[in-house]
Amino acid sequence: MKAVLLDIGAGTVDFLLYDENKKLENSIKMVLPSPQTVYAKKIRETTIAGKPLFIDGYTIGGGSLTKAIKNHVNTGYKVYMTAQAAYSIRNSLEEVKMFGVEIVDEKPPECVHITLDEVRLEVYESLLNQFNETLKDVDVCAVSVKDHGAPNKEMSNREFRINNYRETMEKDNRFNAFFYSDEDVPDYYIRMKSAIKASRNTLPYADVYVMDTSISALAGCLMDPLVRGKEPALLVNMGNGHTIAAVVSNYRVQCFFEHHTSMLDKDKTQGLLKQLCDGSLTHEYIYRDGGHGVVYTGDPPGFSNIQVIAFTGPNRRLFEGSNFEYLYASPGGDVMMTGTLGLLYSLWFECA
């Protein structure tokens, strides 16, 4: 099997070209700036030039892109977007319009034109060709992105996300329950569906899968030999936007919580993790505190019974100085490949 694996975050996009005929350490790997940061820079340059913008393409991550678009409008310049591209800002087009963005089908005259695509497989293909490598023969393309989902009724994004977690894990509490094929991804995951379309545009004959970045990072921790086989394990992904922690035993999630990283510090995180393992952390507390919530799918083991604590994510150093014994997950010997190897972990389960 040969697979291209992409983990697209707010800061970087992490690329792994896996080939079962090679040692994992010999796989082609890249860590590049996240596409949203690249497009945000182009928009800021357009703002400085004082020109109107037309943005089309796929739905991608917001973050710095959204900030740049809002700044362009607030500075007094027009922004036109197609509906598919506009979902990058908000899951509701009405909310996008409230920011001053106009939803159109075609490019108005005299606009700077930007086309959004966070998968950009043709860019990787062009680079790989310089090294006598190709993506054209891959069997699988798997992509992880952050997707809150678009609520189909009056409900906050936080409620909708945690409810989807809960419903999914009540049916199957393994990480690969969140590993969706192109036929199975729910309609409310607009960004995931867009990633599938972008992947198929370049690789029409490959099997395509998508996953949330929070989950793929946790799954990747289980690929670290220092974590694998030690149960129960406490896995923590401290991302740029979200922090998610899960207790895992026998490949199954017993409990987890998700919060916003900006609302956490070392001491608070340490307390939340201990409460999660002991079963005393409540959904209501996390939600009232501004996070997403807590889900229990089994009996928490108690903090004293945890065999290993593994951290991953760009903000993992926030926990430095804690009195917990922990490690930084390095599956395949690379802390930056946790998300891509989480996709591989899920793919192996899918193919088993």
What domains can you pick out in the chain, each with its CATH number? 2-31+133-214 (no CATH), 35-116 (3.40.50), 216-351 (3.30.420.40)
Torsions phi, psi for 4 (to 5 deg):
-105, 130
User: Which 3 state secondary structure label does DSSP give 254?
Assistant: strand
At 352 the pLDDT is 59
At 154 the pLDDT is 75
At 149 the pLDDT is 87
Report helix, strand and coil shares of the chain as percent, to nearest 5: 40, 25, 35
What is the layout of strands, in order, in the sheet containing 180-181? 28-33, 12-19, 2-8, 140-145, 207-212, 180-181
At 189 the pLDDT is 94
Low-confidence stretches of the chain (pLDDT < 70) are 352
Amino acid at 107: K
Q: d(Cα 225, Cα 230) in Å, to the nearest integer?
A: 9
At 329 the pLDDT is 96
Question: Do 276 and 252 meet the contact criterion of CB atoms below 8 Å apart?
Answer: no
At 156 the pLDDT is 82
At 173 the pLDDT is 95
